[in-house]
Structures are given as C-alpha cells and as structure tokens.
Amino acid sequence: MTEHYFSNIPQSKSSPKTWKYQLRGKEYTFTSDVGVFSKDEVDFGSRFLVEKFEEPTIDGDFLDLGCGYGPLGITLADYYPNRHVVMVDVNERALVLAEDNARQNDIDNVEVKQSDRFSSLLDRKFAAIITNPPIRAGKRIVHAILEESKSCLLEQGEIWVVIQKKQGAPSVREKLNTVFGNVEVVARNKGYYLLKAVNV
C-alpha cells in the first residue's frame, strides 16, 4: 500500500531534516520528516499563502487546516501575536513536528491537535481558516473540506485556499462560490491561485 502525507500514522522510517527559512521578513527554523508533506523545504504554495494573507477585520482565532509540520500556522501566529492559531492535521508525525517547531521558534499562541478535517472542531468557530489542501487525497475530500468549512467560520470569517491551476483551482473556485456565494482571486503566481471566500 502506498503511503501518503495524509496517512494517519506514517509507517516510513523517520529521517528528520532541519533548515532555516525566511517568511514575512523573519527567519524560522523548521524540522520536517518523511511521511509529511514537503519534507525538504517550505513548499511554494504555503509560502505564497503566508506572504499574501491579510488579517480579517473580525476578532477570533485562526485555523491552519492540514498544518503539516506547521510553517503556515507558526508564521501567522508569530506575525499576529494577538491571535490564537489552532493547527490541525490527521498525520500524527506531522503534529509532533508542528509542536516541536512551535517550541523551537518560541511561538506559544498556538494549539496543535489531531483532526480528520473538522471532526475535532465541531464546537469551534474561526475568524479565518487557511489551507493548502491535501490535493492527493482527491477532489471529493478537498471539496468536502470547503463545504464543511462554512459551519466552522464566524460571520464575516474568511477561508483562504492556495491551489495550483493544474490541480483543480477552477473547480475549487467554483465550489467556494457555490458554498459561500462569493469568491475572490487574491493573487496568482507560477500557476498557483490564492482564493478567498467570506462567510456572509
């Protein structure tokens, strides 16, 4: 059976790698591993999202959905210290890394927890949901994430999604518009689309 980064408990032998990376003008230290999405560097889609993200006008927590080893949530928690950032993933190895990375970057306004999509968050609502969705999990899963996100957003809360055109950006854009009644292409770069919808 082929193992994916969205496997619950990766069976591949651990071989962690640590590197330094600049995001939003600050250098961070990240450790990733095999069996986790983007094990060698911060992937372009995550960099694109984190650099272009703008804080919503409403109060409330942020959710990094499918956080992996944590570059998105950690960077945004650091940049917006008045916000609490919840970081969730289905992958246990990724969650351990996310906790370790938060510690080694001295970020304490984060909460790391295991969740299959929104299953562990049904009583929570957020001002912003950010996601670089698990494309390899398939269109059905990605679209389910978009549908379920609406009930986890506060009124005027925002969902930010980064996705490549060739991996389904047009259908994700259409789906967001169907679910929320609005969608904005915030930016495009190298075939990546950064999409935003507001829970009005």
List, in sequence order, every residue forming a beta bridge with 20; answer none if it has no partner: 29
What top-level class would CATH report for the domain 17-198? Answer: alpha beta
- Whole-prediction pTM value? 0.92
Q: What is the pLDDT of residues 28-64, one digit of tens each?
A: 999 999 888 776 789 999 999 999 999 999 999 999 9
Phi and psi at 147, nearest 5°, equal -65, -45
Say if residue 189's pLDDT is above 80: yes
Domain spans of the chain, in order of start: 17-198
Structure tokens at 47: 């960099």
- Share the mean pLDDT of the chain: 92
Structure tokens at 37: 């999405």
CB 159 within 8 A of CB 171: no
Rounded CA-CA distance 150/117 in Å is: 13
What local confidence, expressed as pLDDT, does residue 3 receive? 41
